[in-house]
Chains A and B, each alone.
Chain A
């Protein structure tokens, strides 16, 4: 079955700490990969996306993610988090063709202590 697994449900970090959120997917075919963020009281918004090409992709607010095809992983990283990064982060997969049928991970709640 197609699925997306996020390794951590809750993460607490101090400001300036480095962040890495794990994401693994199970899908038999070409996929597009996304990380979304939901700040408290706000809409889901796109952080970054991978369609093809360079497996290291950069997104907004200093976030980046690396696609490792052999490991079916798409981990999110940020070298130094800020209090304003407190939010819920979702990894998502859509099939490469055939329309949107997005599968989301369960989400990771990140709390950054000032």
Chain B
């Protein structure tokens, strides 16, 4: 099976713009979670989608949003970008939502905000 894929891999945006990141989970996986990784804050949970519904949400402002499509692919959107949004955004997929599931991570999208 192909692994989790994320596009684009690298992105440079200007402060105030918006950005959309995409994640394709492993075939058959219905849960997709997003994480932000920065040197200062480490890995922080953004949100989880399962069967097109947001299951959990982390402590991020409303500028961060996401959605999941019927084929389980997920997108994450960040509006009104700030310099502090520069980070590696990781997507992880799982067959189940929590419980006894385990997550498989993608390579990430490196976002730089200038």
| Interface set of A (CB-CB < 8 Å, partner B) | 32, 34, 36, 43-46, 49, 51, 90, 92, 94-107
Contact = CB atoms under 8 A, between A and B. Distances in A.
B42 A106 contact: yes
B101 interface: yes
Nearest to B48: A100
Interface of B: 3-4, 31, 33, 35, 42-45, 48, 50, 55-56, 58, 90, 92, 94, 97-108
Contacts, number: 68
Nearest to A44: B105
Contacts of B107: 43
14 contacts: A43-B4, A43-B105, A51-B100, A98-B55, A99-B48, A99-B50, A99-B55, A99-B98, A100-B31, A100-B101, A101-B48, A102-B45, A106-B42, A107-B43
A34 B102 contact: yes
A80 B90 CA distance: 31
A105 B105 contact: no
Contacts of A49: 102
Contacts of A95: 98
